[in-house]
Structure 1
Amino acid sequence: MDLAEKTCIPCRGGVAALDRPKAEELIQQVPGWSLDSEGKRIVRCFCFQNFLEALAFVNRVGELAEEQDHHPDIKFGYGYAEVWIHTHAIGGLHENDFILAAKVNGLEQAAD
């Protein structure tokens, strides 16, 4: 099943974070995203024409995060939004992170 079609399942901890080989496999399914140097978070920077476009995108990501009960870290400003995703409860990556990334990619495509 395509990652964007899945739903995040709440992770309360007690499971192991994905190892780097599995994370590298899943990152291939979310174009534009990269693993951080430690393989514990994924990140993507989105570019926009102005501050209002960036803000609107951040708000859509926030709504999506609430729907999925999975919350990224977001930094944004004039013309950009940087989204960092990991599973706080396990201090690393979980399949949920890649599901959310795929859904965020869908937001970008819907805006085009």
Structure 2
Amino acid sequence: MASLSPEDVDARLSHLPGWERVGETIQRRFEFEDFAESIAFVNRIALVAEELSHHPDLAVSWNVVTVSITTHSQGALTNADFELAGRVDALS
């Protein structure tokens, strides 16, 4: 899987509102009504991550889930990261 150039990353981010580049990851913060909704969202992400065999880093607080995605094996961003980000957006 090939790493994306900074220009490719910027171009892809322009199609994913709310996502930002943080080092070699893309990240987005999702806010919910309460903790139960946050956990339900995490569980939906888990199903998609398993389907794609590509797993994000998740940080959960009371009503916020922060999703960070990178291709750990590459140490960089790849097409798989943006595919997962799009799928995560569709769940919110």
TM (norm. structure 1) is 0.79
Unaligned segments of structure 2, at least 5 residues: none
Q: Tell me the residue number matched to 2:46.
A: 62
Normalized per residue, which structure has more strand? 2
| Percent identity of paired positions between Structure 1 and Structure 2 | 37
* 1:33-56 deviation per Cα after TM superposition (whole angstroms, max 9, x unaligned): 1011x3x11000000111000000
Runs of 4 or more, structure 1, over 4 Å off, are none
Q: Is the radius of gyration larger for structure 1 or structure 2?
A: 1
Q: Secondary structure at the match of 1:90?
A: coil
Matched pairs, number: 92
TM-score, normalization by structure 2: 0.95
Is 1:32 equivalent to 2:18 in the alignment? yes
- In structure 1, runs of 5+ residues without a counterpart are 1-10
Secondary structure at the residue paired with 1:61?
Answer: helix
Task: Give how far 1:29 is off.
Answer: 1.6
| Aligned partner letter, 1:23 | V
Aligned to 1:81: 65
